[in-house]
A and B are shown apart, each in its own frame.
Chain A
Amino acid sequence: MNSDKTNDDDGTSTVNRTLASTAHHCGSCALHEHLVRMGIDIDNWDYVVALAGNPNVGKSTVFNALTGLKQHTGNWPGKTVARAEGGFEFSGKRYKIVDLPGTYSLLSASVDEEIARDFILFGRPDCVIVVVDATMLERNLNLVLQVLEITDKVVVCLNLMDEAERKGIDVDHRSLARELGVPVVPTSARKGEGLGLLMRTVSEVIAGDVEVAPRRNAGNAALNQAVDELIPMIETLYPGLPNPRWIALRLLDGDYRVRQALENGELARMGFETPDAAEQGIVMGAAGGS
């Protein structure tokens, strides 16, 4: 299956290449046969996957490896305000993957963080891949924990494993998965290692084959009491919300955007989403930020 179609430098044509041709690691694995890169040919997707993570953790490398695109990202915080989108096919399903701006947190209201957060919240991706730097796990976990507050459908991509090994850092990914309550997949995206497993895990999380129990315990006792009081009120107001706890936290934190979404009913759409509406949500989020 090494029949590469021609791809223009600007990546406008469809790219069909199997990952097997680039991945040395477990190249014999049958899974690779199913991954087809689709570049930006992302019509009629079955699932939407978001890529989140701190800046410079290899997010774009993962994105490029999966889609066959050559996405360039600026390194200057504040400049990168756009999302990149691409597509790939895996085990017969078509995925749209959205590369979100690199952020350290989802708490403050900078333009890039708002875009990332709005997409995870209102874009309702079927799964969020949080790419983390294995050499700087603690710092990266801050973002993971914040994403876990928003959504259950999370796969942690423990990237830069090769670099960690070289630096004498050993990360026990099984314990990490237990602590976080979501799957953790070790990868070295530059070498293409672990990406097949990453995609299989994503598909399993989307299908509900993997049980997730995300860790959620931000705040002190008084705060949690306040949150517990608000959750039923929010649930009565908007039944079917996937993350009332997070909404409660954000309201208490005085998050203007969430408050607005609550007031104008935007929040209601989160429970009963159609792809079109999701798209609208994203566009609105991006426009509001710029």
Chain B
Amino acid sequence: MNDTPTSQPPARALLARVEQLQRNLGGAYRDAIVESLYADAEQIARKVVHTEKTKSYHVDQAIDRIVTSKIWGLPVMGLLLAVVFWVTIAGANVPSAMLADFFFYLGDQGVALFEAMGLPWWITGFVWHGTYRGLAWVVSVMLPPMAIFFPIFTILEDLGYLPRVAFNVDALFKRAGAHGKQALTMTMGLGCNAAGVVACRIIDSPRERLIAILTNNFMPCNGRWPTLIMLATLFVATSFPPALAAIAAAGSLVLVVLVGGAMTLILSAILSRSALKGEASSFTLELPPYRRPNMLRVLYTSIIDRTVFVLWRAIVMAVPAGGIIWLLSNIRASGETLTTHISGWLDPAGRAIGLDGVILLAYIIAIPANEIVIPTIVMAYTQAGMMIELDTLEELRQVLVEREGWTLLTAVCLMLFSLLHNPCSTTIWTIYQETRSVKWTAVSALLPLAITFALLFVLTQTVRVLF
């Protein structure tokens, strides 16, 4: 090999000069390099490419001018989200009530049948009031919103809107020191956080990828949407006059997503300035042409891959959870049920963050799947007083509000709790698979939990002082 002399000192001098020049140039030259490349490419392409522009191309460009505009991009995004939620809530109310009627009628018949057969009370209770009721709640509360929300979401995905979302929020992420592609992994997280975490592979630098993995949890996944939608319907909507109810509920959901986005940005900014220091890197984002969604594929994806998948997971988890709650509520120690003992013990912590002991207990039972937090809460409450018969969602609301003392604050806190708390066990496992680091996996689970408790504590105490 023709060795050149090991010219260490001159190399050092060169590098020193480079650093000096970097300082003189300021930060903007990085963008300047990329921008001039792009400008060049555009200029050349304009010279050599002649397109008989089809009509659809013009329409594409006209739409993109609005949905990716600096001024209108974000508002359009928020509006679109609000419309989707509004359609979901307005459309899900009636079928939800009908399903609940049907399932509880069936449950009553089952109880009557078991009693007629002379089976002992605890078998009837465990089967019908425990496991069956868990299942009935999950299906009637979750199925209608999912059957509306997921097809709409899939249509937006198929249209090619999601990359535009990433384009719109890129600047925000850059300011937070995170990668613009993180917005894409977040939209994947709207489907499923585990999938969102895997999608972080598209992010180049390990630093930015880790940030994206750690914050993906703040995007409510398929499993948490029904919980949020139900809370918005039951509590936010009913706190407003009927004319405004659905709009208020949809607005509150948009707010929840915005809070999730804000938390993502804040945590990304903190991480990229502390433990994961570094600058945001540039990247090329392809905006695919708008395509007419293939309705068959949309229906298949949204019904089979999403609705049935989530519902099945919820049912599988809800049945044992229902059983556990029933047992806890019917096994007595020193005169009180186990539910009363445990929730009483958890109550101070729950109250401090605007919730209560029963909610925390339900949350702990529901750790394997976020989907069943609400049904578990309902079961825990109703099991505590076995005599209550809930025939409609309105009655459920009345029980929660009048008997359990829920307020709008409780509902808001629970929505925030559902949005921010630690990832489900599947996601945590996926994070370990992707990072291969026990440390970062632990951080990904505990950091959101700590943030949740801190945030809710501050919120609750503030509200209590003010009102």
**Chain A interface residues toward B at CB < 8 A:** 76-79, 104-105, 107-111, 113, 137-139, 141-142, 144-146, 167-173, 175-176, 179-180, 215, 217-220, 222-223, 226, 229-230, 233-234, 236-239, 249, 251-254, 259, 262-263, 265, 268-269, 272, 274, 277
Contact = CB atoms under 8 A, between A and B. Distances in A.
Contact of A108 (B25, B38, B49, B281): B281
A61 B17 CA distance: 45
B116 interface: no
B202 A170 contact: no
Nearest to B50: A170
B349 to A, nearest CB: 41
Interface stretch (B5-13, B150-158, B307-315, B398-406): B5-13
A138 B10 contact: no
B22 A252 contact: yes
B62 interface: no
Given A76-B201, A169-B49, A169-B51, A107 B15 contact: no
Contacts of B8: 263
B121 interface: no
B163 to A, nearest CB: 13
A226 B21 contact: yes
A78 B36 contact: no
B15 A263 contact: yes
Contact of A233 (B17, B33, B34, B40): B17
Interface of B: 1-4, 6-8, 10-11, 13-15, 17-18, 21-22, 24-25, 29-30, 32-34, 36-38, 40-42, 44-45, 47-54, 201-202, 204-205, 281-284, 286
A137 B29 contact: no
B48 A175 contact: yes
A28 to B, nearest CB: 30
Given A108-B281, A172-B48, A78 B17 contact: no
B201 A77 contact: yes
A179 B48 contact: yes
Given A108-B282, A272-B1, A222 B44 contact: no
B329 to A, nearest CB: 48
A150 B44 CA distance: 19
Nearest to A223: B29
A234 to B, nearest CB: 7
A269 B30 CA distance: 28
B464 to A, nearest CB: 48
Contact of A113 (B15, B36, B47, B204): B204
A252 B34 CA distance: 13
Contact of A168 (B2, B3, B17, B52): B52
Given A167-B54, A223-B25, 20 more contacts: A78-B202, A105-B282, A137-B45, A138-B44, A141-B45, A142-B284, A145-B37, A170-B51, A171-B49, A172-B50, A179-B48, A219-B33, A223-B33, A226-B21, A233-B13, A233-B14, A237-B10, A238-B4, A253-B30, A272-B2
Contact of B36 (A220, A234, A265): A220
A262 B49 contact: no
B111 to A, nearest CB: 52
Contacts of A137: 45, 48-49
B283 A108 contact: yes
Contacts of A265: 4, 6-7
Contacts of A77: 201-202
Contacts of B24: 222, 226
23 contacts: A77-B201, A107-B33, A108-B205, A108-B282, A109-B204, A137-B45, A137-B49, A138-B44, A141-B40, A142-B37, A144-B41, A145-B41, A167-B51, A169-B51, A170-B51, A179-B48, A180-B44, A229-B17, A237-B7, A237-B14, A262-B15, A263-B15, A269-B1
Contacts of B25: 222-223, 226, 252
Contacts of A104: 283-284, 286
Contact of B44 (A111, A141, A272): A141
A47 B100 CA distance: 74
Contacts of B41: 138-139, 141-142, 144-145
